[in-house]
């Protein structure tokens, strides 16, 4: 590994899925893993295999299907965890077992009920055991940033001697500051025995909004792998945002003197795909991938950018895959032009998917004056977010007003045929949802509902997202339409279909630890 090469370890599918309200099925995880491979991340942490059968299946399928990156599975310092992790990784082109155990005194005393000596012995034994299965072993001291520095040196020296090839220093609760964290990395680099035999990695959480800053400071002090997630997803306030770390290094080369192998042109597309599958919207003011990242409102800014973009843009939009093209296609556009535009936006889709999306595009173009890139991207995301159709919305009609009770009627196709039902509600969306429930024959627990415009204008495409709960699991549905009631209904039916089709999603006991 070159001295200035920084490896990007993506944990969107593991720590990112632990974001409250996020539940990805196996198909979605495999699709996101393929997108991450196209982004050229170095390591994909595909999941925590022992957590549930669903997580095991996802890691197994990703290991078999995704080539290029290292595929990692998380395991506690426990033989059963390690056995299950290896079983899920068997088919990986390049597998890695990622073992973790807490090292801070507060975790040792109150969670593990373990002495430092016991922790050290268990860590070393776990790495030695994992080494039987694969040569690539990563070890993490959970809550490292609040651990005794000299004790960390003992632990990391011990696991390197046992065969660890990567040592990870997590700021598990996002407590550290850049100066402190940089000093910690330097201390470890200077005092761990045989530190050159392993790559130093960091995993920073964003509880104080410092995850990216801490990660960059770690690089300045010798870290050569950064663990991060697309859009900064993760436990509590999330992880270091992959796109921000990568573009900070790319933009400030003269300062950090380090680089990654990431194809930055895929950042925007991957961000939107993750957002579509997780149901977590990208804030407009989000760095690098937010809608406002390259927007200029004030007159003086607009004047400067028109004369020279460098006046107010330190990153060219094209570098991260943001197209400068605004109006793209219309109702008279043919499939060839549509397919060419999809390719320009960075998507590689099968002929079957292109045919399906093109049909949706033509329907949309008949209802809109102009179709924007964001409209096309939304159609693609909607198609990729689709699940098996147990129920299909055929028709909806609503009546509402401030002086009348909202009513809705729907036609839903089920296994028993087409069913038509009507219901009243507190508004048109509520009435529509209740009519759908009557049609499918059972009640739905709606947890959350969001509606936003994909683009601007009176004929903007509306995007509805709903979260429903069933059997203790959360399912996300998404719908698109110029008609926001139709978008809402489609989102509701999509979530119901996912609930019917899904085998569930992993549940991780926080008391058992996450890094």
Q: Which residue has the higher pLDDT, 367 or 411?
A: 411
Look at residue 297 and tell me whether its pLDDT is greater than 50. Answer: no
Provide the pLDDT confidence category of residue 97 given band limits of 50, 70 and 90: very high
- CA-CA distance, 139 to 313, in Å (whole number)? 40
Over the chain, what is the mean pLDDT? 90
Let me know: does 488 contact 466? Beta carbons within 8 Å.
yes
pLDDT higher than 80, residue 474: yes
* pLDDT above 70 for 389: yes
Mean pLDDT within 130-139? 98
Looking at residue 384, what is its pLDDT?
A: 62
The pair of three-digit structure tokens given for residue 138, joined into one six-digit string:
């990563």
For 346, the 3-state DSSP assignment is coil
**CA atoms in the 13 A half-sphere facing the CB of 315:** 26
pLDDT at 453: 85
pLDDT recorded at residue 305:
43
Q: How confident is the model at residue 273 (pLDDT cuts 50, 70, 90)?
A: very high
Once rounded to an integer, what is the mean pLDDT over residues 126-147?
Answer: 98
- The structure tokens listed for 130 are 């994992």
pLDDT at residue 306 above 70?
no
What proportion of the chain, given as a percentage, has pLDDT over 90? 67
Asked if 364 contacts 461 with a C-beta cutoff of 8 angstroms, the reply is: yes
pLDDT of residue 334: 84
Q: Are strands 392-401 and 70-76 parallel, antiparallel or unpaired?
A: unpaired
- Say what the pLDDT of residue 508 is: 45
Domain borders along the chain are 7-285, 293-322, 323-384, 392-501
What per-residue confidence (pLDDT) applies to 291? 81
Residue-wise pLDDT tens digits, 174-220: 999 999 999 999 999 999 999 999 999 999 999 999 999 999 999 99
pLDDT at position 503, please? 55
Question: What is the predicted pLDDT for the residue at 324?
Answer: 62
pLDDT band at 382 (very low <50, low <70, confident <90, very high): confident
SS3 363: helix
Q: What is the model's pLDDT at position 308?
A: 59
Q: Please tell me the predicted confidence (pLDDT) of residue 438.
A: 95
Tally of CA atoms within 13 A in the half-sphere of 499 that contains its CB:
25
Q: What is the pLDDT of residue 370?
A: 73
pLDDT band of residue 352 (cuts 50, 70, 90) is confident
Q: What is the mean pLDDT of residues 229-241?
A: 97
Q: Ranked by mean pLDDT, which of 198-207, 270-279, 292-301, 347-356 comes out on top?
A: 198-207
Which H or E run includes 72?
Answer: strand 70-76
Confidence of residue 325 (pLDDT cuts 50, 70, 90): low
Q: Is the pLDDT of residue 510 over 60?
A: no
Taking residues 31-51, report their average pLDDT: 97
**Which strand (E) or helix (H) includes residue 225?**
strand 225-228
For 392-501, which CATH class?
A: alpha beta
| Topology annotation, domain 7-285 | TIM Barrel (3.20.20)
Q: Indicate the pLDDT class of residue 299, thresholds 50, 70 and 90.
A: very low
Check: CB of residue 345 under 8 Å from CB of residue 377.
yes
| pLDDT per position as a tens digit, 162-177 | 999 999 999 999 999 9
User: pLDDT digit string (tens) for 422-436?
Assistant: 999 999 999 999 999
pLDDT of 235 reads 94
Q: Is it the case that residue 509 has pLDDT exceeding 50?
A: no
């Amino acid at each position: 590994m070159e001295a200035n090469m920084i490896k990007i370890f993506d944990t969107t599918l593991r720590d990112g899925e632990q974001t409250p309200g996020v539940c990805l099925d196996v198909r979605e995880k495999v699709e996101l893993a393929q997108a991450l491979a196209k982004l050229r991340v170095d390591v994909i942490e595909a999941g925590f295999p022992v957590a549930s059968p669903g997580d095991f299946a996802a890691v197994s399928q990703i290991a078999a299907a995704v080539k290029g990156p290292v595929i990692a599975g998380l395991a506690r310092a426990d033989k059963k965890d390690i056995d299950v992790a290896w079983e899920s990784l068997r088919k990986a082109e390049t597998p890695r077992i990622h073992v973790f155990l807490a090292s801070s005194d507060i975790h040792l005393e109150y969670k593990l009920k373990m002495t430092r000596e016991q922790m050290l012995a268990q860590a070393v034994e776990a790495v030695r055991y994992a080494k039987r299965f694969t040569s690539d072993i990563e070890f993490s001291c959970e809550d490292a940033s609040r651990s005794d520095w000299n004790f960390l040196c003992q632990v990391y020296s011990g696991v390197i001697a046992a065969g660890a090839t990567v040592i990870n220093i997590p700021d598990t609760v996002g407590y550290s500051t850049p100066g402190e964290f940089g000093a910690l990395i330097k201390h470890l680099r200077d005092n761990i025995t045989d530190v050159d035999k392993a790559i130093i990695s960091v995993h920073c959480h964003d509880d104080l909004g410092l995850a990216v800053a801490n990660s960059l400071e770690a690089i300045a002090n010798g870290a050569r792998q950064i663990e991060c997630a697309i859009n900064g997803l993760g436990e509590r306030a999330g992880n270091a945002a992959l796109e921000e770390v990568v573009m900070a290094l790319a933009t400030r080369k003269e300062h950090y003197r380090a680089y990654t192998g990431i194809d930055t042109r895929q950042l925007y597309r991957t961000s939107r795909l993750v957002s579509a599958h997780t149901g977590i919207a990208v804030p407009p003011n989000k760095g690098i991938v937010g809608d406002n990242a390259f927007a200029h409102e004030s007159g003086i800014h607009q004047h400067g950018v028109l004369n020279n973009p460098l006046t107010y843009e330190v990153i060219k939009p094209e570098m991260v895959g943001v197209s400068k093209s605004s109006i793209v296609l219309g109702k008279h556009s043919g499939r060839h032009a549509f397919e060419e535009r999809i390719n320009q936006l960075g998507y590689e889709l099968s002929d079957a998917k292109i045919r399906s999306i093109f049909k949706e595009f033509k329907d949309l173009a008949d209802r809109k004056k102009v179709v924007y890139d964001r409209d096309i991207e939304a159609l693609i995301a909607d198609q990729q977010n689709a699940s098996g159709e147990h129920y299909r919305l055929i028709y909806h009609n609503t009546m509402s007003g401030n002086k009348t009770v909202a009513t809705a009627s729907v036609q839903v196709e089920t296994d028993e045929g087409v069913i038509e039902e009507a219901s009243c509600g507190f508004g048109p969306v509520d009435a529509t949802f209740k009519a759908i429930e009557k049609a499918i024959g059972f009640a739905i627990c709606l947890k959350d509902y969001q509606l936003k415009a994909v683009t601007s204008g009176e004929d903007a495409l509306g995007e509805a997202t709903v979260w429903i709960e069933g059997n203790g699991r959360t399912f996300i549905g998404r719908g698109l339409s110029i008609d926001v009631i139709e978008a809402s209904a489609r989102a509701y039916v999509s979530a119901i279909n996912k609930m019917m089709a899904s085998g569930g999603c992993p549940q991780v006991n926080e008391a058992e630890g996450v890094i």
